[in-house]
Amino acid sequence: WAIFAPYVAAINRLKKERNAVILAHNYMTPEIYHGIADVVGDSLQLAIEATRVEADVIVQCGVHFMAETSKILNPAKTVLIPDAEAGCSLAESITAEGIAEMRARYPGAPVVSYVNTTAEVKAASDICCTSSNAAQIVAAQDSDTVIMTPDKYLAQNVARQVPNKNVVWWDGSCIVHERFTAQDLRDFRDLNPDTRIIAHPECPPDVVDEADFSGSTSGIISYVERERPSKAMLVTECSMASNISDNLPDVEFVGPCNMCPYMKKITLEKVLWSLHSMQGAVEVDPVVAEKAHISVQRMIDLSQ
Binding residues: 25, 43, 88, 114-116, 131, 174, 200-202, 217, 260
Is the sign of the CA dihedral 225, 231, 234, 235 positive or negative?
negative
Which DSSP symbol is given to 91?
A: G
- Euclidean distance between CA atoms 225 and 196, whole angstroms: 13
Map residues 5-34 to x or -, x wherever contact with ligand 13P holds by CB under 6 A. ---------------------xx-------
Least distance from ligand SF4 to the Cβ atom of residue 250, Å: 28
Q: Does residue 273 sit in helix, strand or coil?
A: helix
- Euclidean distance between CA atoms 296 and 248, whole angstroms: 34
CB 16 within 8 A of CB 30: no
Residue 125 touches ligand 13P, criterion: CB under 6 A: no
Least distance from ligand SF4 to the Cβ atom of residue 19, Å: 28
Q: Which is nearer to ligand 13P, 59 or 272 (CB)?
A: 59
- Measured from the Cβ of residue 78, the count of other Cβ atoms closer than 10 Å reads 18
Residue 45 touches ligand SF4, criterion: CB under 6 A: no
Least distance from ligand 13P to the Cβ atom of residue 234, Å: 12
- With CA atoms as reference, report the closest residue to 82 among 56, 63, 57, 54: 63
Q: Which is nearer to ligand SF4, 264 or 291 (CB)?
A: 264
The residue type of 304 is Q
CB 295 within 8 A of CB 123: yes
Residue 131 touches ligand 13P, criterion: CB under 6 A: yes
175 binds, among ligand 13P, ligand SF4, none (CB under 5 to 8 A by kind): ligand SF4
Residue 42 touches ligand 13P, criterion: CB under 6 A: yes
Give the residue numbers of the binding site for [4Fe-4S] cluster. Answer: 88, 174, 260
The residue within the footprint of ligand SF4, chosen from 60, 78, 116, 217 (CB under 6 A), is 116
Residue 88 touches ligand SF4, criterion: CB under 6 A: yes
Map residues 186-215 to x or -, x wherever contact with ligand SF4 holds by CB under 6 A. ----------------x-------------
Q: Looking at 87-95, 118-126, 164-172, 179-187, which segment touches ligand SF4 (CB under 6 A)?
A: 87-95
Q: How many residues bind ligand 13P (CB under 6 A)?
A: 10
Q: Which is nearer to ligand SF4, 89 or 274 (CB)?
A: 89
Residue 295 touches ligand SF4, criterion: CB under 6 A: no
Scored b (16 or more CB within 10 A) or e, 180-211 reads bebebbeebbeeeeebbbbbbbbbbbebbebb
- Euclidean distance between CA atoms 138 and 154, whole angstroms: 12
Question: Which of positions 229-288 make contact with ligand SF4 (CB under 6 A)?
Answer: 237, 260, 262-263
Least distance from ligand SF4 to the Cβ atom of residue 173, Å: 8
- Bridge partners, 281 (sequence order): 80
The residue within the footprint of ligand SF4, chosen from 39, 175, 182, 278 (CB under 6 A), is 175
Count helices and strands (H / E) in the chain: 14, 12
The residue within the footprint of ligand SF4, chosen from 37, 63, 124, 198 (CB under 6 A), is 63
Burial of residue 286 (number of CB atoms within 10 Å: 0-12, 13-18, 19+):
exposed
Question: What's the CA angle centered on 31, arms 25 and 35, to 5 degrees?
Answer: 90
Q: Which spans of this chain sit near ligand SF4 (rule: CB under 6 A)?
A: 63, 88-90, 116, 174-176, 202, 237, 260, 262-263
